[in-house]
Amino acid sequence: MNAWDSLQLATVRSTVGDYLGALIDVYTILIFVYILSSIYQSFGGRIPYNRPLIAILDFLRQVCEPYLSIFRRFIPPIGPLDLSPIVGILVLTIGGGLIVRLVAG
């Protein structure tokens, strides 16, 4: 392998690592928005009947619940406090950072 090939490989690995990092950041933001909407609804906030808004909330639920349910199996809620999203975000951030570093080299 010559210098040009290794430079291309490094560029591709860096690009894939950046892409994975961006996906992890977007998923973390989606989890935060899902948590905030759940908190709003749990405090009695009513969301007006609006089809686009309901579709967004359904999308957040369908995207975030499968990942968060993994942690809810092991971490039961303490009264009204659910710590599984915090643990899920920590695992996502730390594990994702390790994967991004391994891919990017």
pLDDT, one tens digit per residue, over 13-29 is 888 888 999 999 999 99
pLDDT for 61 beyond 80: yes
Asked whether the beta carbons of 48 and 65 are under 8 A apart, the reply is no
> How high is the pLDDT of residue 21?
92
The pTM is what? 0.85
Contacts of 31 (CB under 8 A, 6+ apart): 64, 67, 68, 85, 88, 89, 92
> How high is the pLDDT of residue 5?
63
> How high is the pLDDT of residue 49?
79
Share of the chain above pLDDT 70, in %: 90
- In angstroms, the CA 100 to CA 105 distance is 8
Average pLDDT over residues 85-94: 94
Quote the domain boundaries for residue 52: 3-104
